[in-house]
Amino acid sequence: MVKIGNIELPEFPLLLAPMEDVSDPPFRALCKENGADVVYTEFISSEGLIRDAAKSVMKLDIYEKERPVGIQIFGANLESMLRTVEIVEKSNPDIIDINFGCPVKKVVSKGAGAGILKDIDLMVSLTEAMVKHTNLPVTVKTRLGWDHDSIRIVEVAERLQDVGCAAISIHGRTRAQMYKGEADWKPIAAVKNNQRMHIPVFGNGDITTPEKAMEMRDSYGLDGAMIGRAAIGYPWFFNEVKHYFKTGEHLGKPTIAQRVEMARRHLQMAIDWKGPVLGVFETRRHYTNYFKGIPHFKEHRMKMVTSDDAAHVFNAFDEVEAKFGDLIIPQAY
């Protein structure tokens, strides 16, 4: 059993990573239904929250069916982050997560996200202050370091633990790498193997198959896996990993009809939550994976990703189901 604060999770839990414009309530609900043990919100700007920016406030929406759910925030100003904790607490999440890993320039340039990896003392003091400011478990998501020459993740993780961090998720790349090259899990294993560490250590980056998840568990000895891009448009991934752990065999793939039904539900939930404009627009990024591998699919995909009218998108789903419904794509990874 793995624990984040007082939250009890199964052995080697699978966590849905916080992803901007992806990890919203509709998608989190679908991932939860399909085996995710913990889900995290999109990352939320502390400055946006204290200014009451509509997009930031909307990201605070969480629902009982998602639990345990963590709200992830980012920022580099202590006062703003503490005020944000007070705002976030009103949404009653199970976890508050701090983003110390986002590599995007507009975040990093403000010293937030992975930008704080240039100032480890600030990273630690900010975490300590937030831990003291709430009774909720505070967790951290970060990267190995700013660049290859500044990887100090074993020391950093230990210091974060010592000021009260309840768990740490580590992406196996530096900020300099962005998302290029292969994730290196060895430094994450070094964090876990540090005899002083007693909080859960979760691995993130390149977990694209059930075999990769098993490797992270058995060869690297980590406490759990945080799944990101592999789940976009494919919420089945979590149950596929769990089935593989249990049986050593791959779970049967969903038919195209089942994929259409999931996409249909996803779009309707997004419209119900965001409205017809944003609901249609922000669900588009999932369609490539929902229908990955279908031959001669370009015409149908273009209808889905270019129409602003939900009815047209639903009609495109119907066409795909009628034409390919019984088809099973053998490999979706």
Active-site residues: which are they?
102
CA atoms of 33 and 253, how far apart (whole Å): 16
* Residues 288-323 pLDDT 10s: 889 888 888 888 989 999 999 999 999 999 999 998
Residue type (1 letter), 159: R
* pLDDT reported for residue 325: 80
Other beta carbons within 10 angstroms of residue 202's beta carbon come to 27
* pLDDT reported for residue 331: 56
* pLDDT reported for residue 326: 79
pLDDT per 10-residue tile (average), the chain, 333 residues:
94 95 93 97 87 80 91 90 91 94 83 88 94 96 91 96 97 90 95 96 96 97 96 95 96 91 96 92 90 87 91 94 82 52
CA atoms of 50 and 138, how far apart (whole Å): 19
* Residues 37-89 pLDDT 10s: 999 999 888 888 888 777 788 888 888 889 999 999 988 888 989 999 999 99
* pLDDT reported for residue 178: 87
Q: Is 207 within 8 Å of 170 (Cβ atoms)?
A: no
Q: How many CA atoms lie within 13 A of 239 on its CB side?
A: 13
* pLDDT reported for residue 194: 96
The distance from CA 95 to its chain's CA centroid, rounded to whole angstroms, is 14
Buried b (16+ CB within 10 A) or exposed e, 11-33: ebbbbbbbbeebbbbbbbbbbbe
* pLDDT reported for residue 149: 86
CA atoms of 272 and 188, how far apart (whole Å): 40
* pLDDT reported for residue 92: 92
Q: What share of the chain is helix, strand, coil (3-state, %, to 5)?
A: 50, 15, 35
